[in-house]
């Protein structure tokens, strides 16, 4: 609980005067068009005043010293202003902008920085991306950032960085590309708050209460992993819980590689995490966008199917497929810009209601036609196609015996005709069912159809 303890120790040492949560430091971006919470610690019982954007809001420190003030909704503003917090002393937070704020969480693929990273392949196009990264109203805050001893001493919890060719090399790559594309469209400041840790299972990002409420979670509590960063609730306690009052537009999630050995549990765990986090933010419709895992020799198709089922069952969520961007031998694909772009498209559709195409073809339903099977898809953008001009690959049919056979696929506009002579009465269809699937179906925008498994009615 390093981050929480560091925050608590600092706050209580200064409680006789006043302190503010570490995320409110120079350069912070506040969420537009929503009430904005500002919080910290002070001597119990004293009044604290927050001043910003012609608002003056007061709060009283509770018995434990905690205080929280809530500013009213504000329009976006790229003008740097000062936020003042006052009691017996005054804290001034400078260069404060108002725009879009997104939490980006998960494993190493979410944390991977834009510049070179020891032990990993360079990100495709990183040098040009850094050289062109002159975005003064795009800001990054990495929770628990300890890139230097000096930074750790100044603020153990993290600090805001303004995007420039000098700083962008340290920005998390996928959050950066997401924010860059979103800002180019919205023309407002964007703040990305990254909470990610390589090698962390989903259980480490879930609260102990959430884990205890379900059999899959109780197993992690009873038999915790031995490695510290794999312990249940570790990063929920240190990275997520301290910022749950933060006003945000939505959440990006890229995680699951460390749960590949038990894919049968992942559907329940991810669904519970989403529900719990939304409850902590008191936003049952908080947009939750996540990345379906890419092809890799160690990633079973059952894990991707679990993610797909969560997307189908969870309102205000969106799953993007990157089945065309992976590396069979590397868990850290070098293509990060397209991932950020697809997440930005999903955000525009889900969080802002724009009529943009953000997904490749997704299976909708099936209809039997004698011994053939006709598949219908959503997100076809007017038709189906293949990325290589060849017939669609990777489709299989199974009959009552459950044995799958390769199916011949024929394009029919925005539908697909499947035929497998060995399966006269199909009972199940699947697509891309392999760790590294050989598939090529796309829509007219070139976005890929992801893997899926679907049982058919008798």
Tell me the C-alpha distance between 287 and 350, whole Å.
7
CA distance 146 to 452: 40
Helix (H, G, I), strand (E, B) or coil at 401: coil
Fold classification of 2-96 (topology level): Immunoglobulin-like (2.60.40)
> For residues 192 and 28, what is the distance between their CA atoms, to the nearest angstrom?
10
For position 17, what pLDDT does the model report? Answer: 85
Q: Return d(Cα 432, Cα 353) in angstroms, integer.
A: 30
pLDDT by position in tens, the chain (length 458): 333 333 443 434 444 589 999 999 999 999 999 999 999 999 999 999 999 999 999 999 999 999 999 999 999 999 999 999 999 899 999 999 999 999 999 999 999 999 999 999 999 999 999 999 999 999 999 998 544 333 333 444 789 999 999 999 999 999 999 999 999 999 999 999 999 999 999 999 999 999 999 999 999 999 888 888 899 999 999 999 999 999 999 999 999 999 999 999 999 999 999 999 999 999 999 999 999 999 999 999 999 999 999 999 999 999 999 999 999 999 999 999 999 999 999 999 999 999 999 999 999 999 998 889 999 999 999 999 999 999 999 999 999 999 999 999 999 999 999 999 999 999 999 999 999 999 999 999 999 999 999 999 87
DSSP conformational letter for 280: H
Cα 184-189-192 angle, rounded to 5 deg: 95
Residues ≥6 apart with Cβ < 8 Å to 267: 306, 307, 309, 310
Report residue 372 as tokens. 């053939």
Radius of gyration of the chain from its Cα atoms, rounded to whole angstroms:
24
Rounded to 5, what percent of the chain is helix, strand, coil? 25, 30, 40
Q: What pLDDT score does 134 carry? A: 98
Give CATH superfamily name and number for 102-350.
SGNH hydrolase (3.40.50.1110)
What distance in Å separates the CA atoms of residue 318 and residue 211, rounded to the nearest whole number?
A: 23
- If you ran DSSP here, which 8-state letter would residue 32 be given? T
Q: pLDDT value at position 10?
A: 44
Per-residue confidence (pLDDT) for residue 229, from 0 to 100: 86
CA distances in angstroms from 16 to 66, 67, 82, listed in the order given: 12, 13, 24
Q: Which long-range contacts (CB under 8 A, 24 or more apart) does 117-120 make?
A: 120/330, 120/332
Domain residue spans of the chain: 2-96, 102-350, 362-455
Closest Cα partner for 32 from 186, 243, 252, 242? 186
Alpha-carbon distance 367 to 376, whole Å? 8
The pTM assigned to this predicted structure is 0.94
Look at the alpha carbons of 307, 115, 178, 234 in this order and tell me if their dihedral is positive or negative.
positive
> Cα separation of 456 and 149, whole Å?
58
Structure-token pair, residue 455: 């049982």
Measured N-to-C along each axis, helices 215-222 and 266-281 cross at an angle, to the nearest 10 degrees, of 90
Residue 370's pLDDT is what?
86
The H or E element containing residue 348 is helix 337-350
Residue 32: closest CA among 321, 269, 247, 310: 247
59's CB contacts (< 8 A; 6+ apart) are: 47, 48, 49, 50, 67, 68, 69
CB 439 within 8 A of CB 394: yes
């Amino acid at each position: 609980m390093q981050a929480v303890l560091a925050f608590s120790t600092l706050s209580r040492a200064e409680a006789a005067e006043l302190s503010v949560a570490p995320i409110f430091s120079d350069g912070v971006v506040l969420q537009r068009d929503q009430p904005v919470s500002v919080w910290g610690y002070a001597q119990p019982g004293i009044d604290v005043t927050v001043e910003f954007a012609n608002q003056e809001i007061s709060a009283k420190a509770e018995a434990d010293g905690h205080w929280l003030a809530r500013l009213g909704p504000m329009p976006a503003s790229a003008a740097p202003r000062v936020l003042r917090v006052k009691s017996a002393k005054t804290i001034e937070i400078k260069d404060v902008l108002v725009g879009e704020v997104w939490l980006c969480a998960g494993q190493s693929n979410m944390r991977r920085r834009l510049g070179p990273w020891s032990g990993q392949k360079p990100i495709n196009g990183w040098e040009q991306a850094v050289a062109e990264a002159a975005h003064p109203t795009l800001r990054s805050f990495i929770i628990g950032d300890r890139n230097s001893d000096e930074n750790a001493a100044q603020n153990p919890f993290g600090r805001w960085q303004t995007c420039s060719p000098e700083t962008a090399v340290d920005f998390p790559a996928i959050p950066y590309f997401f924010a860059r594309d979103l800002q180019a469209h919205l023309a407002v400041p964007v703040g990305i708050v990254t909470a990610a840790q390589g090698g962390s299972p989903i259980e480490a990002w879930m609260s102990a209460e959430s884990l205890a409420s379900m059999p899959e979670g109780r197993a992690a509590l009873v038999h915790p992993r031995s490695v510290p960063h794999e312990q249940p609730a570790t990063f929920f306690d240190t990275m997520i819980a301290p910022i749950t009052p933060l006003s945000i537009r939505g959440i990006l999630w890229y995680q699951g590689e460390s749960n590949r050995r038990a894919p049968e549990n992942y559907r329940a765990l991810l669904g519970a995490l989403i529900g719990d986090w939304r409850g902590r933010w008191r936003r049952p419709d908080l947009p939750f966008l996540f990345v379906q895992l890419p092809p890799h020799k160690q990633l079973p198709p059952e894990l991707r199917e679990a993610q797909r089922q969560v997307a189908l069952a969870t309102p205000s969520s969106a799953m993007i497929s990157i089945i065309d961007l992976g590396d069979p031998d590397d868990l850290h694909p070098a293509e990060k810009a397209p991932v950020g772009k697809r997440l930005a498209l999903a955000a525009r559709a889900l969080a802002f209601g724009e009529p943009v195409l953000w997904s490749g073809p997704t299976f909708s339903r099936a209809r039997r036609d004698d011994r053939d099977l006709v598949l219908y898809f959503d997100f076809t953008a007017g038709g189906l196609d293949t990325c290589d001009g060849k017939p669609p690959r990777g489709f299989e049919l199974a009959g009552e015996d459950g044995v799958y056979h390769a199916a011949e696929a024929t394009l029919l506009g925005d539908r697909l005709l499947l035929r497998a002579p060995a399966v006269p009465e199909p009972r199940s269809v699947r697509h891309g069912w392999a760790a590294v699937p050989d598939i090529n179906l796309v829509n007219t925008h070139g976005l890929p159809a992801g893997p899926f498994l679907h049982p058919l009615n008798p």
